[in-house]
Amino acid sequence: MLEEVEEVKGVDQKLVMFTRAFNGRLATTDYNLSKVAQVREVDVVNINDLASALKVVALPGEAMQIKIIKPGEEADQGIGYLDDGTMVVVEGGRNKIGRDLLISITSSLQTSAGKMIFGKFEGYANQETGGGGRRRSPGRRPAAGSGARPRQ
């Protein structure tokens, strides 16, 4: 096998062939090498993709919109999920199941089971924005001076 790898021209091709020969997994930060490995059906992990997956979704103090779908473990907690599956635990959200809430992020946690975000209830998200406005995306703040305020 090693002779075959030595005969191949180009470092990327050699890495892919070597990885395939030993039924291994290739780890790289090189986007093009990652694509070549995928085309050749070699297991590949792009380190940049891993780093992106581990980035903090929300920072303390940021505002976020979330729909509460079930009660949490503690007395006043409600649970919602981001599109990527991240669990969001909301203080003051237990009696607001089925509602879209505006929350303030208090902390976040990365565990072996995934990311978790903790926040506290700040108000209700506007379901209808009237006047040509639009609904905020999760994790986005309204522009300064936009007049966007949660309903009470």
Is 0.85 topped by the overall pTM? Answer: no
Instruction: Give the class (CATH, top level) of 63-124.
Output: mainly beta
What letter would DSSP give residue 11? H
Quote the CA–CA distance of 152 and 2 in Å, as a whole number. 70
Whole-number pLDDT of residue 96: 96
Give span(s): CATH 2.40.50, the chain.
63-124
Each residue's pLDDT expressed in tens, for the chain with a length of 152 residues: 567 667 778 889 889 988 998 999 999 999 999 999 999 999 999 998 888 777 777 889 999 999 999 999 999 999 999 988 899 999 999 999 999 999 999 999 887 777 899 999 999 997 544 333 333 444 444 444 444 444 43
Give span(s): CATH 3.40.50.1010, the chain.
2-54
Whole-number pLDDT of residue 115: 84
Exposed / middle / buried, residue 73 (Cβ in 10 Å: 0-12, 13-18, 19+): exposed
Whole-number pLDDT of residue 136: 40
Whole-number pLDDT of residue 40: 92
Domain 2-54 homologous superfamily, CATH: 5'-nuclease (3.40.50.1010)
Are the C-beta atoms of 117 and 39 separated by less than 8 Å? no
Whole-number pLDDT of residue 139: 46
Quote the CA–CA distance of 126 and 41 in Å, as a whole number. 47
Residue 140 main-chain phi, psi, to 5 deg: -105, 145
Q: 31-39 and 11-21 are packed helices; what angle lies between their axes, rounded to 10 degrees?
A: 50
- Distance from chain centroid for Cα 36: 26
Whole-number pLDDT of residue 5: 63
Q: Which residue in the block uniquely carries the two structure tokens 């050699």?
A: 14
